[in-house]
Each structure stands twice: as C-alpha cells, then as structure tokens.
Amino acid sequence: MLDDRKLKKNPFSLQLNAEDFLPASADEKQSLVVMRESTTYWKDAVRRLRKNKVAMVAFAVIILVMFCAFIVPSFYPYHYDQQIRGSEDLRPMQYSEMELKSISQGKSVFPHVFGTDSFGRDLGIRVMIGARISLLVGLIASFLVLLIGSIYGAIAGYFGGKVDMVMMRIVDIIYSVPDMLIIILLQVTLKTPLTNLFDSNPAFAGLQKVGVGLISIFITFSLLYWVGMARIVRGQIMTLKEQEFVTAAKALGASNRQIIAKHLLPNCIGTLIVTTTLQIPSAIFTEAFLSYLGLGVAIPMASLGSLASDALGGISAFPYRLIVPSVAISLIILSFNLFGDGLRDAFDPKLKK
C-alpha cells in the first residue's frame, strides 16, 4: 500500500515503495480469499436435510424407536416370553394382587405400562420386541434389495445391448408377478425345508435363532423386490456411462468391474440411499401383513402384526392391546416414509415438488 506521508510528492513518480513487495502475511492472505469453503455433495445434502424440519422430526422418531427396540429390552425388568402367573389380563399401569403384596412389603415392582396379555406377558416389552423385528426386517430386506438390485441394474445398464435386453425382460417378468401371492406361497412352503436344513447343518445354527419365518421373508424379498431398484439404477448408469470420466477410466485400462464398482455406482449414491430408505417401510409393511395373517414370526416371538392380530380376540374388553401395536407400526412406517422423502429432497433437489 502507498504510504501517503512519504510519497505525497508526485503521483506519477516511478519511485517504488519497498514495503509493497514484502511477502504477504497469513492474515492478508486470508483476507484475499473471496471463496467460501467448498462444500462437498455430502455436506450440501446434509445441510439441506437439516433444514427440513419434518425429516428431522422423523429421523428423531426413528432413533427413538431404535433405542426402544434394541437397547431398552436389555435392561427392561420383564422378558417378552415371560409369563407372570397371576398377572394375566392386567390393564395399563395396573398391578396384580401378588405384585401389590410385594409393593406393600416395600419391594419396587416395575409397572406394566401397557398392561399384560392373557398369558401374563408384559405388553410393553412385547411391543418393543415387535418393533425390533419390524426394524430388522426393514433394514435387512432393504439391504438385500440394495445389493442385488444395484449390481443387477448396473450390469444391465453398463453393458447395454443384448445383455441389457435379456436382463431387463427378466426384470419385466418378475415385476408383473403378483408379489403378495408368491410371498405367501414362499412363506408357507419354505418353512419346513428351512427348519430341516437348520436342524441338520450346524453351520446354520446361528440362523435358526433368527427364526425360519424371518429368513423366508428375507428370501422372498431378495427374490422379488429388487426389480424396482434394478430399474432405477440401470437408468442412472445408462446416462452416467456416457460421461467423460468413464472414457478416461477406460483409456487408463480400468476393467469393467472397476468401472462399475469404483466409478459408476458411487456416482448414484444419492439415488441408492433414497431408494433403499423408501424400501424400508414397504418391507416393514409386508412383514406386519404376513404376521397378521399368521404367516410371519413363530410363537412366542412377537411382531407388531401378530400382536395386532392376537388382540382381535379380546377386542371389546382390551382395545388398547390393538391400539398400541397399531400405533407403533403406523409411526414406524410414517417416519421412514417422511425421512425418505426428506432424503430425496436433500439428495436430488430437482425432484422436489
């Protein structure tokens, strides 16, 4: 900068001020940066998501439900299949005579927040376990759909031509298979073979704990539900593969597998996340539907659908037994739907209506 006191004499003088040529200090350098910190795709999406109040509330509900489903049962005083003698058919917050006696003796008894069922099982813990089943089904089934659908769609989209034709015709056919019919069929027919398999082979012993009903739900999902995902991914890959970075990767000698795994799929990450999230409520819905019909989880395991169906028996006396699991399932589906919508708006603002 010109020092006014020293250099007042002649504005056209060629005499130079040495200070002007000193290296800039860090502060000065900082003041010259006019650009904001560059945002990445992720940061941008998260920022948009944070602004969306509905999606954030839905996210909070999901976290809360997950907390109740996975963490609370481990320190909850009752067990989902624990039948407390003498405490059958209690209303919410009611105590049985035995429990009242122990309270009068100074012992503390945890209240049955939602009452108990006709076997003396605490409904609160059963609803939580049911929510755990729903969430597990939703998350695992969606993950399977993501895995199969994205790989299948990417291969079809990337290779194009005849490969694409044949692969997409298969998708078309599976797409028009009435899913619920096949799911119910599979559900019934897979039960016995799977049980035999688990019994005979010790390698599958871990799976037995999960339950045959759930495993067959996962199988049906991985057989039928990936087609939607495959179609969406294929569409994305078709446009992406024409871009320069793919040509560049090819020129550098990348194999087809590398191009798909390292260049194409990471570029559809937004779509993949959104579609997977929106798949979760549909999986939860299907599980509840099957359990309601008595085709889902096995007794004494509880699922939100089977709890609602069990409640139908004593509906006039104990309506809350139906209301609690129904509200839980609706809340879970609703929050996943809203959160998924929020994610879509955040990752792909063009789609916003």
Partner 1 sequence: MIKYVIKRVAYALLTIFLISIITFTLMNMIPGGPFLSEKAVSPETTQALKIKYGLDKPLPVQYINFMNNFIHGDFGLSIKQTGRTANDIIFSTFPVSAKLGGISILVALILGVVMGSVAALNRGRWADSLLMVISTLGIAVPSFVVASFLLITFGVNLHMLPTLGLKTPLHYIMPVAALSFYPTAYITRLMRSSMLDALNQDYIRTAKAKGVNKFVMLFKHAMRNAIIPVITYVGPLLAYTMTGSFVVEKIFTIPGLGREFINCITGRDYPMVMSTTIFLAVLLVFMNVLVDICYKLVDPRIKLK
Residues that bind partner 1 (CB under 8 A): 169, 172-173, 176-182, 184-186, 188-190, 192-193, 196, 281, 285, 288-289, 292-294, 305, 308-309, 311-312, 315-316, 319, 322-323, 326, 329-331, 333-334, 337-338, 353
Instruction: Please state, in angstroms and rounded to a whole number, the distance separating the CA atoms of residues 62 and 135.
Output: 10
Q: From the CB of 265, what's the least distance to partner 1, in Å?
A: 28
Cβ distance to partner 1 smaller for residue 84 or 329: 329
Which one, 271 or 291, has the nearer CB to partner 1? 291
* Residue 234, token pair as written in the block: 């294929």
Residue nearer to partner 1 on the CB measure, 107 or 353: 353
**Pick 113 or 180: Cβ nearer partner 1:** 180
Q: Which two tokens stand for residue 132?
A: 């755990």
Q: Which C-beta is closer to partner 1: that of 109 or that of 139?
A: 139
As measured in angstroms, the least distance from the Cβ of 261 to partner 1 is 31
- Least CB distance to partner 1 at residue 330 (A): 5
Q: Which is nearer to partner 1, 86 or 160 (CB)?
A: 160
CB of 190 to partner 1, least distance (A): 8
CB atoms within 10 A of CB 305: 28
Cα separation, 236 vs 25, whole angstroms: 48
Helices (H) and strands (E) in the chain, counts: 16, 0
**Nearest 5 degrees, angle CA 239-CA 336-CA 233?**
15
The two tokens of residue 80 are 């989902």
All residues at 6 or more sequence positions from 230 whose CB lies less than 8 Å from its CB, including other chains: 148, 149, 150, 152, 153, 156, 171
116 phi and psi angles, rounded to 5 deg: -130, 165
Coil vs helix vs strand at 116: strand
Residues 49/56, Cβ–Cβ less than 8 Å: yes
Q: Cβ 185 to partner 1, closest distance in Å?
A: 5
| 45/40 Cα distance (integer angstroms) | 9
Minimum distance, C-beta of residue 169 to partner 1, in the bound complex (Å): 8
